[in-house]
């Protein structure tokens, strides 16, 4: 089962930096859930920096940012420390959350097929409904585009 636009997202929990993440614990807040391939790689670092730079603006809009990759909590902790990331990162080693959001894709890397996370962002409103999704995201300007959408929810 995967999530659908304008439908309620099933409750899920997952290990995250700073303690387990539970969707149900966020009722009343907007959630920006972004999936990225790997900690400390150039594109993922840039994306994390852009979301970090706008974190206060998201907070003012009653929105919480959470990043998701298959990296371990230890890897996430290092990434957070190195990049001063002010939000939690979910460790989805078993791909449960990735499967729920349908972000696992076959990609070509150096001429061979590898399974990996397609860079994607989802906005879940304060009532737990999926209200926007971006798939196959290009990093430049993306965090600002997501912020503008979140602010438009008013």
CA 61 to chain centre: 17
SS3 148: helix
98 has catalytic annotation: no
Q: Which of 152, 97, 144, 122 is nearest to 32 (CA)?
A: 122
The structure tokens listed for 129 are 């409904």
SS3 57: helix
Element (H, E) at 14: strand 13-14
Q: Which residue of the set 44, 54, 123, 124 is catalytic? A: 44
User: Cα–Cα distance between 76 and 72 in angstroms, integer?
Assistant: 6
User: Cα–Cα distance between 120 and 82 in angstroms, integer?
Assistant: 23
- Active-site positions read 44
């Amino acid at each position: 089962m995967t999530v659908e636009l304008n439908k309620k997202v099933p409750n899920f929990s997952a290990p995250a930096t700073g303690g387990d993440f539970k969707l149900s614990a966020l009722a009343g807040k907007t959630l920006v859930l972004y999936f990225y391939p790997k900690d400390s790689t150039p594109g993922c670092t840039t994306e994390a920096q852009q979301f970090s730079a706008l974190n206060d603006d998201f907070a003012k809009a009653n929105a919480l940012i959470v990043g998701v990759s298959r990296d371990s909590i230890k890897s996430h902790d290092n990434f957070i420390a190195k990049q001063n990331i002010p939000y939690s990162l979910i460790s989805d080693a078993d791909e449960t959350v990735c499967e729920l959001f349908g972000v696992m894709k076959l990609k070509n890397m150096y001429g061979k097929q590898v399974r990996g996370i397609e860079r994607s962002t989802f906005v879940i409103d304060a009532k737990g409904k999926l209200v926007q999704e971006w798939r196959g995201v290009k990093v430049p300007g993306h965090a600002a585009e997501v912020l503008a959408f979140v602010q438009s929810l008013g």
